[in-house]
């Protein structure tokens, strides 16, 4: 299966990042805690190699707590600040604000040593589509300063937002990279919705998801959710979901598209449990 989605506005976004990187002191990179490697744009490491970095492992409430700890340690070992965050829970806002302040501390102290007080820290927030970046910004602003939605690629242009703590934040649209060399990573992006469902064959994606869950030893999460048997092969699971839910077309064929939407949406909403699809030790890229 060949998976690629790189609309024209993403090329423009990469140009925008390159043009504005000199204006900022710190880069806040939002990634999906369920797929921390796959949701991390590999172009960012070269683009931001000279900048202080804060990694926000967003949606950690949907991911495996034990594996979250592994990813925290992994990214800290690279010299980056890390925070686990749930952008849909405003009660966690102080934790994020504290993480930004801590990541900026060295920069503030450097300004103070030069006699520069109350200098505004400029931060850029980046991430691939649909990792919850805009919802995170709205929480920081405590108002609807950034458009949000559950469709990847909704933020179209850059905007500066002033935050408490004397921080100016540059928001940027979500950006993928032109070619997915890592096929496993590309599939992970489809599972979480980082690539628009409209450009995918969801029936095949759902089957790949079942295969992934079997491979990880997590298939019982599907069987228990829908109260079905596994069968002899991965496709049997989709068939059994359809039978249980009555997803049968008038000609008595199985409505695999409806099954695919149900299964993937339930995973994305955390209805299959707290699941992380990759660990630092089993990923191709970092």
User: Is 87 annotated as contributing to ligand binding?
Assistant: yes
Is residue 8 within 8 Å of 176, Cβ to Cβ?
no
What's the pLDDT at 179?
60
What's 150's domain CATH number? 3.40.50.300
Instruction: Answer yes or no: is 183 within a domain.
Output: no
Considering the domain architecture, whether residues 57 and 153 belong to the same structural domain is answered as yes
Q: Is 63 annotated as a binding residue?
A: no
> According to the annotation, is 145 in a ligand binding site?
no
217 and 162 inside one domain: no
273 is in an annotated binding site: no
Over its length of 286 residues, how does the chain's per-residue pLDDT go in tens digits? Answer: 555 555 555 667 777 777 888 889 999 999 999 999 999 988 888 888 889 999 999 999 999 999 999 999 999 999 999 999 999 888 898 899 899 989 998 988 998 999 988 888 899 899 888 898 888 888 888 754 544 444 444 444 567 888 877 888 888 777 776 566 678 888 999 999 988 888 789 999 999 999 999 999 999 999 999 999 999 999 999 999 999 999 999 999 999 999 999 999 999 999 999 999 999 987 644 4
Does residue 244 share a domain with residue 139? no
> pLDDT tens digits, residue range 164-174?
778 888 887 77
231 is in an annotated binding site: no
pLDDT in tens, 52-62: 999 999 999 99
Domain of 206: which CATH number?
Answer: 1.10.1580.10
Does residue 179 lie within any of the structural domains?
Answer: no
122 and 221, same domain (yes or no):
no
The answer to whether 31 and 131 are in contact (CB under 8 A) is yes
Q: Does some domain include residue 26?
A: yes
Q: Is 134 annotated as a binding residue?
A: yes
Are residues 104 and 220 both part of a single domain? no
pLDDT on residue 285? 46
Residue 230 lies in a domain: yes
- Is residue 3 domain-resident? no
The answer to whether 171 and 137 have CB atoms below 8 angstroms apart is yes
Residue 174 assigned ligand-binding role: yes
Confidence at residue 148, expressed as pLDDT on a 0 to 100 scale? 44
59 is known to lie in a ligand binding site: yes
**282 falls within a domain:** no
- pLDDT value of residue 2: 54
Question: In the chain, how many domains are there?
Answer: 2
- Does the annotation flag 168 for ligand binding? no
Q: Are residues 222 and 93 in the same domain?
A: no
Q: Is 206 in the same domain as 166?
A: no
Question: Per the annotation, does 155 bind a ligand?
Answer: no
Is 251 labelled as part of a ligand binding site? Answer: no
Q: What is the pLDDT of residue 154?
A: 41
- 6 among annotated binding-site residues: no
**Domain match, 13 and 116 both:** yes
Report pLDDT for 205: 96
pTM: 0.86
Regarding whether 235 and 159 lie in a shared domain, the answer is no
113 and 229 part of one domain: no
Within a domain: 180: no
**86 labeled binding residue:** yes
Question: Rounded to an integer, what distance in angstroms lies between the CA atom of residue 213 and that of residue 277?
Answer: 8
Domain that holds residue 225: 201-268
196 Rama class: left (phi>0) / alpha (psi -120 to 50) / beta: beta
- 157/206 same-domain check: no
- Evaluate whether residue 249 is within a structural domain: yes
């Amino acid at each position: 299966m060949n998976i690629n989605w790189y609309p024209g506005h993403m090329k423009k976004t990469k140009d925008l990042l390159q043009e504005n990187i000199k204006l900022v002191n710190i880069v806040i990179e939002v990634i999906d805690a369920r797929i921390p490697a796959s949701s991390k744009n590999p172009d960012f490491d070269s683009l931001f190699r000279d900048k202080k970095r804060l990694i926000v492992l967003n949606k950690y409430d949907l991911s495996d707590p034990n594996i979250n700890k592994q990813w925290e340690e992994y990214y800290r070992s690279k010299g980056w600040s890390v925070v686990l965050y749930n952008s849909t829970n405003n009660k966690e806002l102080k934790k994020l604000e504290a993480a930004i302040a801590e990541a900026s501390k060295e920069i503030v102290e450097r300004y103070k040593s030069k006699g520069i007080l109350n200098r505004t820290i400029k931060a850029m927030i980046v991430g691939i589509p649909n990792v919850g970046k805009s919802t995170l910004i709205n929480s920081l602003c405590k108002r609807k300063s950034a458009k949000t939605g559950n469709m990847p690629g909704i933020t179209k242009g850059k905007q500066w937002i002033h935050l408490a703590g004397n921080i100016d934040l540059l928001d940027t649209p979500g950006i993928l990279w032109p070619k997915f060399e890592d096929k496993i990573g590309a599939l992970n992006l489809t599972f979480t919705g980082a690539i628009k469902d409209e450009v995918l064959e969801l029936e095949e994606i759902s089957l790949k998801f079942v295969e992934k869950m079997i491979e990880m030893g997590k298939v019982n999460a599907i069987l228990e959710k829908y109260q079905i048997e596994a069968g002899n092969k991965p496709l049997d699971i989709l068939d059994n979901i359809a039978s249980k839910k009555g997803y049968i077309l008038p000609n008595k064929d199985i409505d695999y598209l409806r099954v695919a939407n149900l299964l993937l949406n339930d995973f994305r909403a955390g209805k299959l449990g707290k699941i992380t699809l990759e660990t630092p030790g089993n990923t191709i890229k970092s």
